[in-house]
């Protein structure tokens, strides 16, 4: 028989923890039911993993689905001012096709250049680091940005308020040879898609967004 006893001090700590996280009596009753407590112990010992279910986001009375869907069998239409020959390169097309058919915007990971959080870093430098660290393939691309844009302004505000969303996987030169990166920003109450020159400085409001590890299961090679 177990000799475990919940002392007054430990009981108080448990009560405080439950109250701090918004717990109620029913949660304690759930914990003592079946194998629920054993499952929590496995999680504490690192023998189990917790998988969070995505929650729909409510904006007013509107339920916003956090999932962005991308049809990668169809190439996005690029603007005419880009170098069309570059867009035909097999290396670029292969990189362009990478990515899941759908992803949860709330689970995208943010990556900053070490100097980017406290200042501004040239886009060329950011892109070079992403390439050297083999992070580029997990970044968003132009097709992903178009998928996000199609979700509308309320979706964009919910997940990317105050940010610029970049598609680092789709860096392309224009006709003059200057490399540009696609991005999304909010302007005039709408989601606007732009192409920014890598010679500009990029600050903390523009992290590179990368697919969560779970979403990478459907990447093609």
pLDDT tens digits, one per residue of 142-178? 999 999 999 999 999 999 999 999 999 999 999 999 9
Give residue 150's pLDDT.
95
pLDDT band of 46, cuts 50, 70, 90: confident
The mean pLDDT value of the chain amounts to 84
Residue 208 has pLDDT above 70, yes or no: yes
pTM of the model: 0.69
* Better pLDDT: 48 or 126: 126
Q: What number of other Cβ atoms are within 10 A of residue 215's Cβ?
A: 19
**Percentage, residues of the chain above pLDDT 70:** 78
Q: Where residue 198 falls among pLDDT bands split at 50, 70, 90?
A: very high
Confidence at residue 5, expressed as pLDDT on a 0 to 100 scale = 61
pLDDT at 202 over 60: yes
The larger pLDDT score, comparing residue 30 to residue 12, is at 30
Q: In whole angstroms, what is the distance from residue 149 CA to residue 184 CA? A: 7
The model's pLDDT over 92-129, given as tens digits with 9 standing for 90+, comes to 999 998 889 999 999 999 999 999 988 999 999 999 99
Report whether pLDDT(59) > 80.
no
Q: For residues 83 and 174, is the Cβ–Cβ distance under 8 A?
A: yes
65 neighbors 56 (Cβ within 8 angstroms):
yes
Please give the pLDDT value at position 14.
Answer: 65
Cα–Cα dist 136/157, whole Å: 25
Cβ–Cβ under 8 Å, residues 120 and 198: no
Whole-number pLDDT of residue 9: 52
């Amino acid at each position: 028989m177990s000799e475990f006893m919940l002392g007054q001090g430990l009981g108080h700590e448990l009560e405080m923890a439950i109250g701090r996280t918004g717990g109620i009596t029913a949660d304690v009753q759930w914990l003592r039911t079946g194998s629920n407590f054993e499952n929590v112990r496995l999680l504490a010992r690192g023998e189990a993993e917790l998988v969070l279910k995505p929650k729909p986001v409510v904006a007013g009375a509107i339920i916003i689905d956090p999932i962005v869907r991308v049809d990668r069998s169809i190439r996005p239409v690029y603007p005419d001012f880009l170098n069309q020959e570059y867009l035909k390169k097999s290396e670029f097309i292969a990189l362009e096709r990478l990515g899941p058919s759908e992803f949860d915007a709330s689970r995208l990971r943010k990556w900053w250049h070490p100097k980017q959080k406290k200042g501004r870093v040239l886009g060329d430098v950011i892109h070079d680091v992403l390439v050297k660290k083999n992070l580029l393939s997990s970044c968003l691309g132009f097709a992903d940005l178009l998928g996000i844009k199609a979700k509308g302004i309320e979706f964009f505000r919910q997940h990317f308020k105050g940010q610029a969303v970049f598609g680092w996987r789709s860096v392309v030169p224009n006709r003059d040879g200057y490399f540009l990166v696609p991005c999304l920003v909010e302007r005039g109450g709408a989601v606007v898609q732009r192409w920014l020159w890598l010679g500009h400085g990029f600050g903390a409001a523009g992290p590179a967004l990368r697919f969560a590890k779970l979403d990478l299961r459907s990447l093609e090679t």
